C-alpha cells in the first residue's frame, strides 16, 4: 500500500482548522488508535485463541456478553484513562458511567461514549465487526468528578465521532465536524494511512439494509417502504438490493460508500427500538450528516436533536443517502 498520510499526520495538519485547540482531542484519537490496533490483533486471533464465544454474563441490556466484548471494553477504557485527557467514559458494556479520578483526568475537558465491539456475536463466524465512539465536552466543572449529565447530551453537541471496522482490512473513520475521513490500517507498518478523504454519501442508492425476518412485527410505514424498495421501476433503479449483515458498523460503512439506507425500526417486539441512542445512533448520525446523509428516528425526528433520558436508552434508527431517507419519512408520515 502506498503511504500518503498517516492518521497522526492528518490530525496534526487539521489542527489549523481549530485555532483554540490545545491537543487534547489529538490525544484521544491516539488512545483510540492504539486500542484499535490491539483489538484488531485480538480479533485476528479468533479461532486460534480462546477468545470467542460468550463469557457467561449478561450486560445491562440483558444480552450475552462475548469474550471479545469484555476484552475490547477493557482495552479502550485503559487506553483512554492512560493519557489523562478524558475525565470519564460511558460504555455499552458498563452498567454505569466510569469516572477517571486521577489528578490529570479530573481536569480533562472531554468524555467519551463507546460501543467497544459492535456486532461481536458475528466473530464466531468470521463476519466484520466494529467499534463506535463519540466525544463530548464535559458539562461539569473541571477538577470535580463527572456526572451523568456529562453523558446525557444530545448528539448535536458531539465534538467528534467515528468507528473502526474490522473486516477484510481494518479501517478507522472519523469526523470532527469538518467532513468524514477514512484511514486503512497497514499491519506491516502498524499505522493507519489516509485512504478515503472527504467521504460522502451518494444522494441516491440502490441498497436497503433491514432485518426482514422481523417484517411481521414492523409498523405499516416501514412495511410499505420495504414493499416500495422491492417493486420494479426502471426510472428509480428498483427493485433495490437487500443487504443486511447484522453489524451496524458494517452495514453503515457499505452504504456510506455505495449509497443506501439502513433501517432498525421500532416494532411490536421492541416498541422503543433496539439500537442505543448514545453508543450507536448518535455517533453514526453525526458521521452521516457530515457525509451529506440523513439520520432520523421517526417522522420529523432528527436523531441528533433527541434529548437523552438514560445511558442505555434505545431508539428507532434510519440512516443513509439523503433521498432514500426522505422517501422513507414520507411513508412513515402517511402510514403510521
- Is the pLDDT at 197 greater than 90? The verdict is yes
Domains and CATH numbers, the chain: 7-196 (3.30.540.10), 207-335 (3.40.190.80)
Residues of the binding site for Mg(2+): 92, 115, 117-118, 280
Q: How confident is the model at residue 305 (pLDDT cuts 50, 70, 90)?
A: very high
Task: Write out the H or E segment, with its range, that includes residue 294.
Answer: strand 294-296
Query: What integer pLDDT is reported at residue 55 of this predicted model?
Result: 52
Contact 324, 261 (CB under 8 A): yes
The set of cell numbers assigned to 12 is 496534526
Q: Quick one: pLDDT at residue 146? A: 94
- The pLDDT > 90 percentage for the chain reads 78
pLDDT in tens, 116-133: 999 887 877 888 999 999
Q: Which residue has the higher pLDDT, 107 or 175?
A: 175
Q: Which residue has the higher pLDDT, 147 or 43?
A: 147
Provide CB contacts within 8 A for 138, sequence distance 6+: 87, 88, 108, 109, 110, 111, 146, 150
- Binding-site members for substrate are 118-121, 211, 244, 274
In this predicted structure, the answer to whether residue 2 has a pLDDT above a threshold of 60 is: no
Q: What is the mean pLDDT of residues 259-283?
A: 97
Closest by CA to 84, choosing from 28, 22, 26, is 28
Cα–Cα distance measured from residue 136 to residue 60, given in angstroms and rounded to the nearest whole number: 23
Cell numbers standing for residue 333 = 408520515
Average of per-residue pLDDT values in the chain:
91
What is the predicted pLDDT for the residue at 46? Answer: 65
Axis crossing angle, helix 282-290 with helix 248-258, rounded to the nearest 10: 10
pLDDT in the model for residue 1: 47
On the question of pLDDT at 19 being above 70, the answer is: no
Query: Rounded to two decimals, what is the model's pTM?
Result: 0.94
Report helix, strand or coil for 246.
coil
**Which of 260, 233, 221, 220 has its CA nearest to residue 244?**
260
Binding-site residue set: 92, 115, 117-121, 211, 244, 274, 280
Residue range 100-126: average pLDDT? Answer: 88
d(CA 51, CA 35): 17
Lowest mean pLDDT among 118-127, 251-260, 310-319: 118-127
- Distance from the Cα of residue 156 to its chain's centroid: 15
Check residue 321 and report its DSSP letter: -
pLDDT for the residue numbered 13: 85
Amino acid at each position: 500500500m502506498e503511504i500518503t498520510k498517516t492518521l497522526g499526520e492528518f490530525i496534526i495538519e487539521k489542527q489549523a482548522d481549530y485555532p483554540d485547540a490545545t491537543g487534547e482531542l489529538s490525544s484521544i484519537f491516539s488512545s483510540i488508535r492504539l486500542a484499535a490496533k490491539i483489538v484488531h490483533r485480538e480479533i485476528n486471533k479468533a479461532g486460534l485463541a480462546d477468545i470467542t464465544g460468550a463469557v457467561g454474563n449478561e450486560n445491562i441490556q440483558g444480552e450475552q456478553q462475548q469474550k471479545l466484548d469484555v476484552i475490547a471494553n477493557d482495552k479502550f477504557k485503559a487506553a483512554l484513562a492512560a493519557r489523562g485527557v478524558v475525565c470519564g467514559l460511558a460504555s455499552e458494556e458498563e452498567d454505569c458511567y466510569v469516572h477517571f479520578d486521577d489528578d490529570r483526568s479530573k481536569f480533562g475537558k472531554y468524555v467519551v461514549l463507546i460501543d467497544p465491539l459492535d456486532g461481536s456475536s458475528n466473530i464466531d463466524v468470521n463476519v466484520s465487526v466494529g467499534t463506535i465512539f463519540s466525544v463530548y465536552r464535559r458539562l461539569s466543572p473541571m477538577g470535580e468528578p463527572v456526572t451523568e449529565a456529562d453523558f446525557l447530551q444530545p448528539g448535536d453537541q458531539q465534538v467528534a465521532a467515528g468507528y473502526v471496522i474490522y473486516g477484510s482490512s481494518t479501517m478507522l473513520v472519523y469526523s470532527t465536524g469538518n467532513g468524514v475521513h477514512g484511514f486503512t490500517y497497514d499491519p506491516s507498518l502498524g499505522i493507519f494511512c489516509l485512504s478515503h478523504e472527504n467521504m460522502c454519501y451518494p444522494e441516491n442508492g440502490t441498497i436497503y439494509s433491514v432485518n426482514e425476518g422481523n417484517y411481521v412485527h414492523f409498523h405499516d410505514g416501514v412495511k410499505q417502504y420495504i414493499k416500495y424498495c422491492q417493486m420494479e421501476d426502471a426510472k428509480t433503479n428498483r427493485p433495490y438490493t437487500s443487504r443486511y449483515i447484522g453489524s451496524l458498523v458494517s452495514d453503515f460503512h457499505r452504504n456510506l460508500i455505495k449509497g443506501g439506507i439502513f433501517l432498525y425500526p421500532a416494532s411490536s417486539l421492541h416498541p422503543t427500538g433496539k439500537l442505543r441512542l448514545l453508543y450507536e445512533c448518535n455517533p453514526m448520525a453525526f458521521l452521516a450528516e457530515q457525509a451529506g446523509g440523513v439520520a432520523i428516528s421517526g417522522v420529523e425526528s432528527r436523531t441528533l436533536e433527541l434529548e437523552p433520558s438514560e445511558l442505555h436508552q434505545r431508539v428507532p434508527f434510519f440512516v443513509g443517502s439523503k433521498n432514500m431517507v426522505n422517501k422513507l419519512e414520507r411513508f412513515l408520515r402517511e402510514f403510521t
